A and B are shown apart, each in its own frame.
Chain A
Amino acid sequence: MSTPTLRRATFVLALLVVLSLGLAGCKPKATATTPPEVEATEVTPPEATEAVVPPEEKVLTIAVSADIAGWDPAASIYWLANEVIINTHDTLVDYGPTTDAEGRAVRDLTNIEGRLAESFDVSDDGMTFTFHLRQGAKFNNGDPVTAEAVKQSFARILEVPGLAAFLLADVAFVRSPDQMVAEDEQTLTFNLEEPNPIFLKVLQEMNMVVVNVDQIESEGGATMEEQMEWAANHPTGTGPYVLEKFEAGVELILSANPNYWGDAPYFTKVIYRIVPSPENRLLLLKSGDVDVVYEIPLKDFADLTADPDIKAFATPTYGNLYFLLGANLEPWTDPLLRQAIAYAIPYDSIIQNVTYGLAAAAPSWIPVGLEGYKPASPYEYDLDKAEELLAEAGYPNGEGLPPITFYLKQGVPEEEQAIVYIQAELAKIGVTLNIEPLSLAAHSEKLASHTAPFSFNFWIPYVPDPVYHLYWNFRSADTGCCNYLSYSNPAMDALIDQGLHELDLSVRNGLVEQAQDIMAEDVIQIALYHPTWNLAMRSGITGYSYWPDTLLRFVFLAEE
């Protein structure tokens, strides 16, 4: 008997002993008859064998917090579902590897490489993109990947309503299937009607993976609704893994795709186990029962880095947590009042105390690290300045200002704590802020209908590009994401529209810089910080690199 087997047998035995003691011990004046051990050994299964893992299988186990269902790339919006999608499908292109200033493995946004497309050509006018597909690439059911199949996959994205269709049509400018031409079996050309500097970056986004439309149509059913239902449960991609098993609420197993065009991945199986309790996820990682854990509570991160058996990664993201400053609500339509609030936010102490230092300062409205970023924000924690601005706006010491109602999304500890810090500082300058907690769904609805003038939103651009970021956050819009205060500034709109088409990088960066200066003045929102993306794994696992979409690519992981 091996040691773990022995331990487990002991455990069952001990349990039965406790049970029998519990019963036997209570009989009145129980004259103990049989020693309970004898009873127990009879019940123990005679051959308690360990579950056998085939020796050739290399298994990577990941503990995640919640369900992972819904893998239709054209419709998916859940982060974990996206991770399953990116590992079972391929995008045409991807970012090449690099290391950042701190030596962390990250992706190089300026170096786009072929993935399912072996190579690609871009015309000088930025309007024609030709992709040469990999020879011999196959879908996971064995169908060949032809230019026609890839075209159909993109055509399908345009038909399924949602973020993916929007990205392809309005950000990549592919508005109709007619704009895609299959030149031959392996060559697909996109003909745009306008120049597009970020076309390739959009194609790298995980919603743009290639699916097997023939299979979806033949096996999914007659109607679009049936096909979407089917596709949500059946990944049909070309990626390094295929879905082997999914048991809702329990686990999801990926196994290596025998038809994969690239080198076979080191890990032949990847198992997601659903472990809702964060404490348990960490215990499981520390004991080695799981290999990777995401969503590490920030307070536990330092503790993990001290453990020699564990590698913990914290990589700054292009995302930010921003504070909406009520620009669509009287009297906060006055920029001076919004500037006053921006000076009353204790940025550093929020980073230190709320995120335990696991976040980076966000000194602009463009994420640090994107092209054209400059530290444009004059705002730092300065209550004197804040008081001056209040007086200038006609509300000395906050007198006459109505109380602020802040809509708080429940369940995110960082946001719950950060607003309490801000509330305390605002109180010092005479501004009252009342916190109204909302459920996730109610909060989303409030934001989308632009009826939450004061709130937080966490935003991470899936296409890491400054103009894309400006487009969502600051371009005129009456509803929807993410210009939640209906900000409308013709100068800003003009900059964004020009930026979406500007091929000259230095001109484009100039536009981005101007946009940041406008925001420094208008300050309709202010970023509190850029969070880091955190995960921890057993120290033997190698090959981790951070992607801007935060998703882990298992094909690059190995074990020492």
Chain B
Amino acid sequence: MRVVSFILRRLILLIPILLGISIVTFAMTHVLPGDPLYILLSPYAKEEDVQKRRVELGLDQPLYKQYIIYLEDLLQGDLGTAYRTRQPVTEDLKSRFPVTFELTTFSLALASLVGIPIGVQAAVRKDTWLDHVTRALSVGGVSIPIFWTGIVLIYILYFKLQIAPPPLGRLDPFLEAPRHITGMYIFDALVTGNGEALRSALEHIALPAVTLAFAMLAPIMRITRNSMLEAMNSRYVQTALALGLPLRKVVYKDALRNALLPVVTSIGLIYGWSLGGEVLVEVVFSWPGLGYYAVNSIINMDFNPVQGFVLLTAVIYVLVNLIVDVLYTVIDPRIRI
């Protein structure tokens, strides 16, 4: 019960947070230089037309009035219309979020499944070749620009060896998308038992996921290793080993469990940050996610998509942190919330 009330309290806290964020983004997008009307109506537009359109869109109103109108629409779940494409922002975000969510989740799972065991081993076998390789990998993951990893993978696996599918989004051309349930193709295909779509979706997500996972791997491995090193040097582990308990059991049952908190925290941070869209990966793999959408909107001073995107990102961040906090209690029963 305590957990439920904790979650509820945190969700209620979301309201002032969102209100604050909406005020800040609204003010920032409207105060930044650049008038969207010139982009909306083309540079050739006559001044009368620009003014007429400004009135129609309510952009001639004082800023606080515009904000109140925006807030009223927001409460009804309406994030406005993108000026540039005349598409409702809510629909745009709805169709793009699952795309980013799928890729990020897949990549993070990949990075965690690979990164945590390697990090543990690097700590256990400190200063062996494995530790050095891990270090090299981490440095690579942090320092190699993510789009470059993507371009190299595409060049080798698609263009030269022709084993990867073309970097053209999420499915083979002409393949019907699986029936829409969540918008995440892998999940939808699994649920509807659509084997062909599942195969195609897995093929297409492989390269972007590996690219993204490579960048995520570095912090996960490093933090796991450092945290494990500390645990391995602690007295309870030394005692357990001195008592002759098997190394494997000590490492995974005692040390890892204690070392996991910072790892979970950092995974949560990476997750929250990546769910805002990985622009570079999305651009390189033609992945129609949130990041590319947001960047395009910012370039064109399209207020509504930018505001909607920031609000969505904020909600995600808060939720991910909430989940991480709840997970703490699972990992370490001493933590009370």
A163 partner, pick from B44, B164, B202, beta carbons under 8 A: B44
Q: When the two chains form their complex, are residues B34 and A163 in contact, meaning their CB atoms are under 8 A apart?
A: no
How many A-B pairs have beta carbons closer than 8 Å: the answer is 213
Q: Tell me if A129 is interfacial: C-beta within 8 Å of chain B.
A: no
Considering the complex, give the chain A residue whose CB is closest to the CB of B95. A248
Q: Which residues of B contact A353 (CB under 8 A)?
A: none
> Which of B46, B48, B110, B147 has a CB less than 8 Å from the CB of A19?
B110
Q: Is A543 an interface residue (CB 8 A)?
A: no
Asked if A233 contacts B95 (CB within 8 A), the reply is no
Does the CB pair B86–A51 fall under 8 Å?
Answer: no
Q: Which of B95, B110, B163 contacts A8 (CB 8 A)?
A: B163
Q: Which residues of A contact B288 (CB under 8 A)?
A: 247-250, 274
Contact partner of A441 among B36, B56, B162, B200, CB < 8 A?
B36
Which residue in chain A gives the minimum CB-CB distance to B43? A481
Binds A, one of B14-22, B67-75, B229-237, B292-300: B292-300
Bound-complex Cα distance A29 to B249 (A): 13
For A47, give its contact among B46, B92, B168, B195 (CB under 8 Å).
B195
Q: Are B206 and A26 in contact (CB under 8 A)?
A: no
Q: Does A542 contact B (CB under 8 A)?
A: no
The A contact surface, by secondary structure, is mixed
- Set of chain A residues within 8 Å of B200, measured between Cβ atoms: 51
B159, A287: Cβ atoms closer than 8 Å: yes
Known: A249-B292, A444-B38. A70 touches B85 (CB 8 A): yes
Residue of B50, B147, B155, B198 touching A283 (CB-CB under 8 A): B155
Given A275-B168, A283-B154, A482-B44, also A448-B173 (CB < 8 A): no
* Nearest-Cβ distance from residue A164 to partner chain B, whole angstroms: 10
Whether a CB of chain A sits under 8 angstroms from the CB of B286 is: yes
Interface contact B247-A439, CB-CB below 8 Å? no
By the criterion CB–CB under 8 Å, are B44 and A481 in contact?
yes
**Which residue of A has the minimal Cβ distance to B33?**
A442
Given known A-B contacts A8-B203, A12-B203, A480-B47, A23 and B166 have beta carbons under 8 A apart: no
For residues 197 through 233 of chain B, which have their beta carbon under 8 Å from a beta carbon of chain A? 198-200, 202-203, 206
Q: Does A280 contact B (CB under 8 A)?
A: yes
Contact with B along A228-242 (1 / 0, CB 8 A): 110011000000000
**Docked complex Cα distance between A96 and B34 (Å):** 41
Asked if A279 contacts B168 (CB within 8 A), the reply is: no
Given A7-B162, A69-B87, A27 and B117 contact (CB-CB distance below 8 Å)? yes
Q: Does A11 contact B (CB under 8 A)?
A: yes
Known contacts being A22-B114, A67-B85, A279-B151, is A273 close to B163, with CB within 8 Å?
no
Asked whether A480 lies within 8 Å of B45 as measured between CB atoms, the reply is yes
User: Does B60 reach chain A (CB closer than 8 Å)?
Assistant: no
A12 contact from B47, B157, B166, B202, Cβ within 8 A: B202
Question: Are A233 and B86 in contact, CB atoms less than 8 angstroms apart?
Answer: yes
Q: Does A295 contact B (CB under 8 A)?
A: no
**With A and B bound together, what is the CA distance between A397 and B248 in angstroms?**
80
Contact of A284 among B35, B118, B168 (CB under 8 A): B168
B272: interface (CB < 8 Å): no
What is the minimal beta-carbon distance from B152 to any residue of chain A, in angstroms?
A: 11
| Contact among A29, A51, A284 for B166, CB-based, below 8 A | A284
Determine whether the beta carbon of B85 is less than 8 Å from that of A28.
Answer: no
Q: Shortest CB–CB separation between residue B109 and chain A, in angstroms?
A: 10
User: Which B residues are CB-close (under 8 A) to A63?
Assistant: 168
B102 to chain A, nearest CB (A): 14
Q: How far is the CB of B60 from chain A (nearest CB, A)?
A: 15
A residues within 8 A CB of B86? 69-70, 228-229, 232-233
Is B39 among interface residues, defined by CB-CB distance under 8 A? yes
A441 to B40, CA, bound (A): 10
> Which residues of A have CB within 8 Å of B181?
none
Let me know if A498 is at the binding interface, CB within 8 A. no
- B contact residues, total (Cβ < 8 Å): 78
Closest A residue to B96 by beta carbon equals: A249
Knowing A28-B248, A232-B86, A250-B288, say if A444 contacts B203 (CB, 8 Å): no
Q: Which residues in B have their C-beta under 8 angstroms from that of A22?
A: 113-114
B167 touches A280 (CB 8 A): yes
A302 within 8 A of B: no
User: Is B267 part of the contact surface with A, judged by Cβ < 8 Å?
Assistant: no
Chain B residues, Cβ within 8 Å of A250: 169-170, 288
Interface residues of A in 249-302 (CB under 8 A from B): 249-251, 271, 273-277, 279-280, 283-284, 286-287, 289-290
Q: Which residues of A contact B292 (CB under 8 A)?
A: 249, 276
- With A69-B85, A276-B292 given, is the CB distance from A26 to B159 under 8 Å? no
A171 to B45, CA, bound (A): 14
B304 at the interface (CB under 8 A from A): no
In the assembled complex, which residues on chain B have CB atoms less than 8 Å from the CB atom of A61?
173
Closest A residue to B130 by CB, please name it.
Answer: A26
Q: Say whether A98 faces chain B, with CB atoms less than 8 Å apart.
A: no
- Let me know if A163 and B39 touch, CB within 8 A: no
Q: Does B121 contact A (CB under 8 A)?
A: yes
- Expressed in whole angstroms, the Cα–Cα distance for A290 and B284 within the complex equals 16
Chain A residues, Cβ within 8 Å of B335: none
Q: Cβ of B45 and Cβ of A481 under 8 Å apart?
A: yes
Judge whether A77 and B42 touch: CB under 8 Å. yes
Least CB separation from B168: chain A residue: A273
User: B299 contacts which of A49, A228, A411 (Cβ < 8 Å)?
Assistant: A411
CB of B257 closer than 8 Å to a CB of A: no
Min Cβ gap A437→B in Å is 12
A445 at the interface (CB under 8 A from B): yes
Segment 74-96 of B: residues with Cβ below 8 Å from A: 81, 84-87, 92, 95-96
Chain A residues within an 8 Å CB radius of B124 = 28
Complex formed: what's the CA distance from A453 to B71 in Å? 39
Q: A233 to B203, alpha carbons, bound, how many Å? A: 32
Q: Which of B106-144 contact A (CB under 8 A)?
A: 110, 113-114, 117-118, 120-121, 124
Closest A residue by C-beta to B175: A51
**Cross-interface CB contact of A7 among B52, B113, B163, B293, cutoff 8 Å:** B163
Residues of B within 8 A of A8 (CB): 163, 165, 199, 203
| Closest 3 A/B residue pairs (Cβ) | A441-B34, A441-B301, A26-B117
Beyond A23-B113, A165-B49, 6 additional contacts (C-beta under 8 Å) are A11-B157, A51-B172, A51-B175, A287-B162, A445-B35, A481-B42
A-B contact pairs, 14 of them (CB 8 A): A19-B110, A23-B113, A28-B121, A49-B196, A78-B84, A249-B288, A251-B173, A273-B168, A277-B284, A280-B151, A280-B167, A439-B299, A441-B300, A481-B42
